[in-house]
Amino acid sequence: MTEQSRFGRFLSATAVALTGTALMLSGVQAQTIKIGAPLALTGGLADEGRKQAIAYDMWLKRINAAGGIDVGGRKMRVELVQYDYQTNEQRAQQLAEKLIVDDKVNFLLAPFGSGHTKVVAGVAERYGVPVMATSASSDSIFNQGYKHLFGTLAPNSGSVENLITVVTRQMPNAKRIAILGREDVFPKAMATVMSDSAKKAGLQIISLEYYPVGVLDLATPIAKIKSMNPDWIYITGYSKDLVLARKQMQDLGVKAPVVTMITGPVYKEFIDALGPLAEGVTSASWWHHSAQFRGNDPWGSTKAFYDEFVAREKADPDYVHAAAAAALVALQKAIENAKTLDRAKVRDALAALDIVTFYGPIKFAANGMNGGRDLPIIQVQGGKPVLLYPEALKQGNLQSVK
Amino acid sequence: MEYGQVIANGLMLGGLYACIAVGFSLVWGVLNVINMLHGSFIILGGYLTFFAWLHLKVNPLVALAPVAAVLFSIGFLVQYLLVNRVITQPVLTTLTLTFGLDMILYNAMNLAFEATPRRIVLDLGRLHLGGVILPYDRVVAMALALVLTAILYLVLRTSRTGRAIVAVRMDRDAAALMGIRVNRVYAITFGIGALMAGACGALVAVVFPITTSVTGLFLGKAFVICVIGGLGSVPGALVGGLALGMIESLASFWFGPQQAILVGFLIMLVLLMVRPTGLVGKKGYE
């Protein structure tokens, strides 16, 4: 064999190998669905971001164990591309853009909280990428005219109205309410929505104040509330603010028959951090594991989701975990219905979605929010959250705070 | 509402603030190092106290001394092994170093402890004094803050190490010529700063939920307090802390809680323009 022909054969062999690899690689690329997720793994919302991460992981493992999502007859595995945006709003925006432009994700998941969801939704809308909001419930996020934003939490007003129903029915003498809210998208929205609904229900709002982000002391506003003698104290904020507030209420000897904190008591860490002080605090939630549903999703039933979570985390799941997993389920179902990964078609499939899952019914209204479901009201009794509402599922009655 | 309660709130908050700032002020004033690790040291002290309470059932006030000692050793080593290498560089270099170390410590704590807010569930009761309610844990925190600050002040004034620290601040080369081991003095000072942060963290753990996400908050407060009170002097941090506590409490009462922090920063800005050395600070070091 001559030198040339040996070299020639080497060249063609290499060419074949390279082409084969390229074909294989492109084949592999085309086989995965990429979903981008900016997560707050550090910074002020690190605790909440972690909850989303757990829920995403649970869904991812299940869906890939079943071979992936069915796209028009072909099963495609799912890949989750995660970045830590450090609870920094600008970084959330930059990472969302990076996920779309560099990582070429097919779809996006929004970060925790209405504030940062808004920012990411803006980026997604610009690029025409459907984005699932797992923990945003404020109307101000969904009234921007975005066509690509869909959220699994129901609107704020629904939970507040159910709360008022429970209190006015079971404690009709509680007429004077004091509201203290955190100056942050979701907590402020919950405070204003309560103020509006309370007025409509005939309650008297004796105080409505806001405290800034990053507060280390709430003694003065709480002492002010004390001097007004309210029947109902309603405070919104994130876990550490609420723990501080409840403790300072005890410090200053502030008592009222009804104490509501949004959304403290639905989280285990709130109850752990307060011990006996958590007793009697009420809250509203978007989901409670005792409301049993059956659905055509990777878990099939609320109980299956609950059991897997408890086995994995040794604690009860809260609505953040459930809503995050449900968002992925909704996206999965929309892809299956659309039979394609085409963003516009999946977007339309999301808009038309009407299903029941382990999380309950999912049907998006025109603005992208999940239709108002019968949002549960809970109260901490005996160290555990007890369901007060809806009537059909309730486990106990409203008790006065001692 | 009673002004008495507002003022009492302010003083108790102020005591805690003073504790937060003293270590920071000392390190900045003596070493000319802006210790970005300060907030994380406080939270680390808080976590150690919390876990001692959770697993070993140790009362936080008892845990204070060992936790402070642990933080002292950490601070000493950080300075001796790392910061000393750049100590003669401009302040921005040392700031960058401590900033980087802070990121390491913060993320390590996040990984190890997770950001879930933890709180020591301990009800020490309340003191009722003429219509004003003073929760005992805040009173104890304030008292301890004053005691620790006083001890520090005495140490600096009377002990050999303390005088060495002051000497090094006055003139590093002259101090070296006098036989003072400058690098060791630097390390001890940084260690004392960390010790105060750790002690503060132990007190904070009783009063406030501990989570990694507030390290920046404490650091920010320390800055403001040092500017208000004056740098490098122990009484300055005390005055600054009490002043800020009173300012925030009164502002919250007069203008509403959402303005309380804003007013604090505005006053800091005004002081920077009118009296940049702070309320008590002088140029140089006493």
Any B CB within 8 A of A251 CB: yes
Asked whether the predicted pLDDT for residue A249 surpasses 70, the reply is yes
Average pLDDT, chain A: 88
What letter represents residue B259's amino acid? Answer: Q
| Residues B170, B173, B175: CA angle, nearest 5 degrees | 60
C-beta atoms of A224 and B253 within 8 A: yes
Q: Is residue B32 part of a domain?
A: yes
How far is Cα A343 from Cα A16, in angstroms, rounded to an integer? 35
Q: Is residue B208 part of a domain?
A: yes
Asked whether the predicted pLDDT for residue A261 surpasses 70, the reply is yes
pLDDT for the residue A118: 92
Report the candidate in A284, A257, A233, A229 with the shortest Cα–Cα distance to residue A172: A257
pLDDT for the residue A260: 94
| pLDDT tens digits, one per residue of A56-109 | 999 999 999 999 999 988 999 999 999 999 889 999 999 999 999 999 999 999
pLDDT for the residue B126: 84
Asked whether the predicted pLDDT for residue B285 surpasses 50, the reply is no
Any A CB within 8 A of B266 CB: no
Residue ranges making up the domain that contains B100: 20-214
How far is Cα B169 from Cα B286, in angstroms, rounded to an integer? 9
Average confidence (pLDDT) over B57-67: 88
DSSP state of A364: B
| A352 confidence band (pLDDT: 50, 70, 90) | very high
The answer to whether A387 touches A396, Cβ cutoff 8 Å, is: yes
pLDDT for the residue A20: 60
Residue A388 backbone dihedrals phi, psi, to 5 degrees: -100, -20
pLDDT for the residue B26: 85
Alpha carbon of B253: minimum distance to chain A alpha carbons (Å): 6
Q: Is residue B57 part of a domain?
A: yes
Prediction pTM value: 0.79
Q: Is residue B278 part of a domain?
A: no
Average confidence (pLDDT) over A31-46: 89
pLDDT for the residue A200: 92
Asked whether the predicted pLDDT for residue A361 surpasses 70, the reply is yes
The answer to whether A313 touches A58, Cβ cutoff 8 Å, is: no
| pLDDT tens digits, one per residue of B14-30 | 888 888 888 898 888 88
What letter represents residue A283's amino acid? Answer: S
Report the candidate in A302, A261, A256 with the shortest Cα–Cα distance to residue A285: A261
Contacts of A44 in chain B (CB under 8 A): 213
The answer to whether B49 touches B141, Cβ cutoff 8 Å, is: no
C-beta atoms of B114 and A227 within 8 A: no
How far is Cα A341 from Cα A335, in angstroms, rounded to an integer? 6
> β-strands A74-84, A107-109: how paired?
unpaired
Question: Domains in chain A, start-ordered, CATH in brackets?
Answer: 28-151+291-363 (3.40.50.2300), 157-286+376-393 (3.40.50.2300)
Any A CB within 8 A of B273 CB: no
C-beta atoms of A224 and B13 within 8 A: no
Q: 């929309």: which residue's tokens?
A: A334
Any A CB within 8 A of B217 CB: yes
| pLDDT tens digits, one per residue of B202-245 | 888 888 888 888 888 899 889 889 888 887 677 888 888 999 99
Q: Give ipTM to 2 decimals.
A: 0.79
Q: Is residue B151 part of a domain?
A: yes
| pLDDT tens digits, one per residue of A157-187 | 788 888 999 999 999 898 999 999 999 888 8
Q: Is residue B250 part of a domain?
A: no
Share of chain A above pLDDT 70, in %: 92
Average pLDDT, chain B: 86
C-beta atoms of A273 and B209 within 8 A: yes
Residue A151 backbone dihedrals phi, psi, to 5 degrees: -125, 140
| B128 confidence band (pLDDT: 50, 70, 90) | confident
Query: What tokens does B147 get?
Result: 């005691």
Asked whether the predicted pLDDT for residue A30 surpasses 60, the reply is no
How far is Cα A335 from Cα A354, in angstroms, rounded to an integer? 14
Q: Is residue B103 part of a domain?
A: yes
Any B CB within 8 A of A247 CB: yes
Give me the number of domains chain B comprises: 1
pLDDT for the residue B122: 77
pLDDT for the residue B88: 82
pLDDT for the residue A27: 47
C-beta atoms of B208 and A224 within 8 A: no
Average confidence (pLDDT) over B64-85: 92
Contacts of A43 in chain B (CB under 8 A): 213
Please give the C-alpha separations between residue B58 and each of A116, B19, B62, B67, in angstroms, as whole numbers: 40, 22, 7, 11
Cis peptide before A2 (omega within 30 of 0): no
How far is Cα B101 from Cα B194, in angstroms, rounded to an integer? 14
> β-strands A32-39, A107-109: how paired?
parallel
| pLDDT tens digits, one per residue of A297-327 | 899 999 999 999 999 998 889 889 999 999 9
Q: Is residue B30 part of a domain?
A: yes
Asked whether the predicted pLDDT for residue A194 surpasses 90, the reply is yes
> β-strands A69-71, A74-84: how paired?
antiparallel
How far is Cα A247 from Cα A236, in angstroms, rounded to an integer? 15
